[in-house]
Amino acid sequence: MSQAADSAAGKPVIRNPVLRGFNPDPSILRVGDDYYIATSTFEWFPGVQIHHSRDLRHWRLIARPLTRRSQLDMLGNPDSGGIWAPCLSYSNGTFYLVYTDVKTHTGPFKDAHNYLVTAKNIEGPWSEPIYLNSSGFDPSLFHDDDGRKWLVNMVWDHRKGKNPFGGILLQEYSEKEQRLVGPVYNIFRGTHLGLTEGPHIYKHNGWYYLMVAEGGTFYEHAVTIARSKSITGPYEVDPQYPMLTSSDKPDLPLQRAGHACLVQTQTGEWYLAHLCGRPLPGRRCILGRETALQRVEWTEDGWLRLAGGGNGPRVEVPAPALPEHPFEPEPETDHFDGDTISIHFQTLREPMSEEWASLKQRPGYLRLKGRESPVSQHRQSLVARRVQAFETEAETAVEFEPETFQQMAGLICYYNTKNYHYLCISRDEELGKCVYIMTRDKGEYDEPLDRPVSIEGWNRVHLKVTIRYDKLRFWISRDGATWTPVGPELDAGILSDEYAELAVGRCRIDQGFTGAFVGMCVQDLSGRGIWADFDYFTYRETDRA
């Protein structure tokens, strides 16, 4: 991900968001001259995304630490379960990553288990997980200057009549014993904004600063800071809280600003990484929650403020005094010619394996074995990548010979099991081999085509989707050169958090926290295990906004 060189004033700027498309809950870290941001991946595998930069302007995806089922077993996890709010830290030559694996998140209960993994190299290998606790989500590890380590996380209160966001818990972590030890302190109950979560602790000029997210992760999201001379509190709240929010600022391009993390550059400058979203008209963020950076300063009385004043996030931010460090552009096409697929691809809830996804069985192709349906929370044969721009197109070519209507393969635009558009190849009793569109809209099944399109006799089918903001259209081709539209223009807005969530007051009972993906999938509901061979996959951004 690159940035244009200069602002209108001729000085280098950071242009937000720096991590576009479904990169929420950022945890930023500097080690020497290198910067890293870890973000949430929810039900997508491998778990946790880590991007790298050397100038805070140009970022590249380099790793996903949770690559093994022993580190992350998400079979059966609900939509928007799995990895919530990882925290990346570093001490004495070791990287630490704490994360939550959420098994239940609707209704009164949250089954949320917190773990720790470590590595000597940011790109791994990462250790087997150490279990920490299950009292609530958003864990963060603080390394104090006296050598002690402390875990903070929010506590979930399921009881009727109580504040479910029951405060921020603090407990010491013993590296020798590899477990939490000593008393548990509830150090902060939050402000009137409510929904207090996402805690991080920092130490600056003799004060412990507690940074939390408040207001919920939608349009009232915010960042609040409190401080104390003792890590266990009591903590006083910044009198000008929240220090960052887009709430009640509908004209700002960056909305949903909150869930932040602080970093200091090697030149002494301070920046805040935070969650944001860019809504289309109708307040739908089809690219999901993204990551932005803001320049911040310490006031004389010891509080953190946005550089330039106010508390609203900015699209353009002065860049730090660091040498520019761009990366080579990412290839648009994966031809499946190597031993691994592009790092940008992920799968649902489980790792890729030769059992169902192979680059070896037919070299030069990705062979996917049909398994469960697109609504399964267990074993889907789906390989996809994020949509990261408002105008994009994706294309593939597939060879597939279905024997029954229960066998399908094709190109899918996917948000979750309840919201997707799917251009699939299948078999019809009258038409033979055919293509049709399958849509699931808030769980309601539909087929927008009046009649499937026969492709009987086609050995290879090229499939394409074009996305233009909130509009989506599918195309087919026999030769990859001449394209024919299939079906009507579809609503891309169903692939968004705001569309997926169902709000009752301030409580969301069916939440969406991810973003739009586009990719390849195969289903075989007959259980015969049919394969489809994909020759390539192209993802192209026609507008990088």
Q: Which residues are catalytic?
A: 25, 197
Instruction: Retrieve residue 240's tokens.
Output: 């000008």
**Amino acid identity for residue 293 in this structure:** L
What is the distance between the terminal CA atoms of the chain, rounded to a whole angstrom? 11
17: number of CA atoms within 13 Å, CB side? 30
For 452-461, b/e burial (b = at least 16 CB within 10 A) is: beebeebeeb
DSSP output for 459-507: S-EEEEEEEETTEEEEEEESSSSS-EEEEEEEEGGGSSHHHH-EEETTE
Calculate the dihedral angle through the C-alpha atoms of 118, 292, 16, 66, rounding to the nearest 10 degrees: 30
Would you say 483 and 464 are in contact if contact means Cβ atoms under 8 Å apart? yes
Would you say 155 and 167 are in contact if contact means Cβ atoms under 8 Å apart? yes
* Distance from C-alpha of 463 to C-alpha of 483, rounded to nearest angstrom: 9
Calculate the dihedral angle through the C-alpha atoms of 487, 491, 497, 503, rounding to the nearest 10 degrees: -120
* Distance from C-alpha of 21 to C-alpha of 275, rounded to nearest angstrom: 11
**Amino acid identity for residue 260 in this structure:** A
**Amino acid identity for residue 452 in this structure:** P
3-class state of residue 542 by DSSP: strand
Q: Please give the distance of CA 433 from its chain centroid, rounded to a whole number.
A: 36
Could you say which DSSP state residue 354 is in? T
Query: Residue 82: CB partners within 8 Å, gap ≥ 6?
Result: 41, 42, 43, 44, 47, 72, 74, 101, 102, 349
Largest separation between any pair of C-alpha atoms in the chain: 77
- Degrees, nearest 5: CA angle 323-326-329: 175
Query: Residue 8: CB partners within 8 Å, gap ≥ 6?
Result: none
The residues with which 292 forms a beta bridge, in sequence order, are 274
Backbone angles phi, psi at 497, to 5 degrees: -55, -45
